[in-house]
Amino acid sequence: MIRHQRPALILFTALILPAMVIFGCGGSNSTPTSSPACMTFVPAQAPAAGFVAPEVDASSTCDILVLNMMVTDVNDLFGGGALLSFPTNLMTYTGISSAGSTLAQNGVAVEVAGDRACPDASGNWCRPLGQFFGEVTIGISRFSGVAPGVNVGAAPERLLRLTFTKGTGEGTTILSFPSDTNLFNSNIPPNNIIQPAPVWIGGTVTVN
């Protein structure tokens, strides 16, 4: 009986082993996939008196960065402005918003400046600053003559919101406010600039 079963065993082995080679180790030939690049931001400093400092909004994602520029310990605040410098290879500036601004207290209307994409949809620079940086002037204010300024205590409050989308490059560099930074009160110019002049704080942008 044993002598008659050996051909069947040999045939079974010949059929099954190739199948095990084909189907049993398929996972070892899979191609690993990498996660898409993610944009992150680390503020250079937390909000404090004498500074306008960024906080990353909870709505930010890998592709969208929302920064709330926060103020603290300032009286009769009527508005503010700055020159924004950012890495155009890592991000696109998509605009400024007064959403949640402390300047809108008591239902007062608020106006903003710099509410356009940079670079724009056609790929033009707003203002080129070297090869990989762009500049745009931003600002926010209560409507003149409508109401006095607002008082901000020790707890940081939002002045304005900036939004960026992820660019095509990868790396780490700086987002900053290099000049023309100010906060102003409800006095008539040129006596309306709040002194000492606040420092607008940026931070580090990373896409990887």
pLDDT at 10: 42
Domain annotation covers residue 19: no
* CA–CA gap between residue 178 and residue 145 (Å, rounded): 30
In which domain, by residue range, is 178 found?
47-207
Domain annotation covers residue 24: no
* CA–CA gap between residue 119 and residue 84 (Å, rounded): 13
Domain annotation covers residue 131: yes
- What separation in angstroms does the CA of 42 have from each of 79, 173, 179? 25, 11, 21
Q: What is the mean pLDDT of the chain?
A: 85
Instruction: For residue range 93-129, list pLDDT tens digits in order.
Output: 999 999 999 999 988 999 999 988 888 777 776 887 7
3-state secondary structure 140-159: EEECCCCCCCEEECCCCEEE
Domain annotation covers residue 34: no
H-helix or E-strand spanning residue 95? strand 91-97
Domain annotation covers residue 139: yes
Distant-in-sequence, close-in-space partners of 175: CB < 8 Å, separation ≥ 6: 41, 84, 85, 86, 87, 91, 202, 203, 204, 205
Per-residue pLDDT band for 29 (boundaries 50, 70, 90) equals low
Domains of the chain: total: 1
* CA–CA gap between residue 162 and residue 96 (Å, rounded): 5
Domain annotation covers residue 31: no
Instruction: For residue range 37-66, list pLDDT tens digits in order.
Output: 999 999 999 999 999 999 999 999 999 999
Domain annotation covers residue 13: no
Q: What is the CATH number of the domain that holds 171?
A: 2.60.40.680
The lowest-confidence range among 11-25, 119-133, 145-159 is: 11-25
pLDDT at 1: 47
